[in-house]
């Protein structure tokens, strides 16, 4: 019996079998992780090459891919990953003037506007009053990160078609598509951070205007 690099080798009729020393198990686990990473990279390269020569023939599928790829939260995915994400999107149609959700409602999903017009309003946030969103915009995305209650109202101003992604649906997508899920989570974190920064800056600007108005009075 001999020890090499933390692996205990046992002579078995001319063959050597790694034993289960603590150092040996660590080395084996490191090797397994590297193999997984190499395999994922190789598989991703093959899939990307295959998609380049086999574009989706279904016009509706390509239209969905185009819509999702233009949304910041989903940017950077492959065509097959967009189609996999589509399995977790639910289509919802709203008539003109219909409430999608109201301030205080439980937040469980994000909405993607396919066509139509949606107004966001909140008495507590001045800069949000009269905010209109149209095709390609999203709203309610904070629901994908955590449980909370809606902080504003969303109501249609025209007949509107949306795609709805529930938080549970995103969790299942991430579980089944870890590399794409990691990308979406990174995009989502950056997007929400930018939105909060914009709101913070706008609040500071409005407070400064109010202070200057009081001084002038």
Q: Which three-class secondary structure state does DSSP give residue 124?
A: coil
Do 120 and 139 meet the contact criterion of CB atoms below 8 Å apart? Answer: yes
Name the pLDDT band for 11 (thresholds 50, 70, 90).
Answer: very low
pLDDT at 112 > cutoff 60: yes
| C-alpha separations of 114 from 70, 106, 130, 138 in Å | 12, 23, 20, 9
Report field, pTM of the whole predicted structure over 0.75: no
Q: 34 or 6: which carries more pLDDT confidence? A: 34
Q: Which three-class secondary structure state does DSSP give residue 48?
A: helix
**Predicted local confidence at residue 8, as pLDDT:** 44
Nearest CA among 98, 110, 91 for reference residue 157: 98
**Predicted local confidence at residue 213, as pLDDT:** 66
Rounded Cα distance, 109 and 10, in Å: 56
Chain-wide mean pLDDT for the chain?
80
**Predicted local confidence at residue 208, as pLDDT:** 76
pLDDT at 170 > cutoff 50: yes
Name the pLDDT band for 40 (thresholds 50, 70, 90).
Answer: low
The CA angle 45-186-166, to the nearest 5 degrees, is 100
**Predicted local confidence at residue 47, as pLDDT:** 54
Q: Residue 181 belongs to what H/E stretch?
A: helix 178-216
pLDDT at 119 > cutoff 60: yes
2 Rama class: left (phi>0) / alpha (psi -120 to 50) / beta: beta
**Predicted local confidence at residue 217, as pLDDT:** 64
**pLDDT tens digits, one per residue of 96-110:** 999 999 999 999 999
């Amino acid at each position: 019996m001999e020890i090499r690099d933390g692996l205990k080798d046992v002579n078995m009729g001319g063959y050597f079998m790694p034993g289960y020393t603590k150092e040996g198990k660590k080395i084996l686990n490191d090797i397994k992780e590297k193999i997984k990473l190499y395999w994922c990279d190789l598989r991703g390269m093959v899939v990307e090459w295959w998609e380049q020569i086999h574009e989706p023939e279904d016009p509706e599928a390509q239209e969905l891919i185009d819509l999702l790829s233009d949304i910041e939260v989903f940017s950077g995915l492959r065509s097959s990953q967009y189609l996999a994400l589509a399995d977790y999107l639910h289509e919802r149609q709203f008539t003109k003037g219909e409430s999608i959700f109201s301030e205080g409602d439980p937040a469980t999903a994000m909405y993607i506007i396919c066509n139509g017009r949606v107004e966001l309003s909140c008495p507590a946030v001045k800069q949000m009053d009269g905010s209109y969103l149209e095709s390609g915009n999203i709203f309610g995305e904070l629901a994908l990160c955590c449980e909370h209650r809606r902080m504003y109202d969303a109501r249609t101003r025209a007949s509107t078609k949306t795609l709805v992604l529930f938080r549970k649906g995103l969790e299942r997508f991430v579980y089944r598509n870890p590399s794409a899920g990691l990308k979406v989570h990174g995009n989502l974190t950056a997007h929400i951070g930018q939105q909060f920064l914009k709101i913070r800056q706008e609040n500071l600007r409005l407070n400064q205007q109010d202070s200057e108005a009081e001084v002038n009075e």
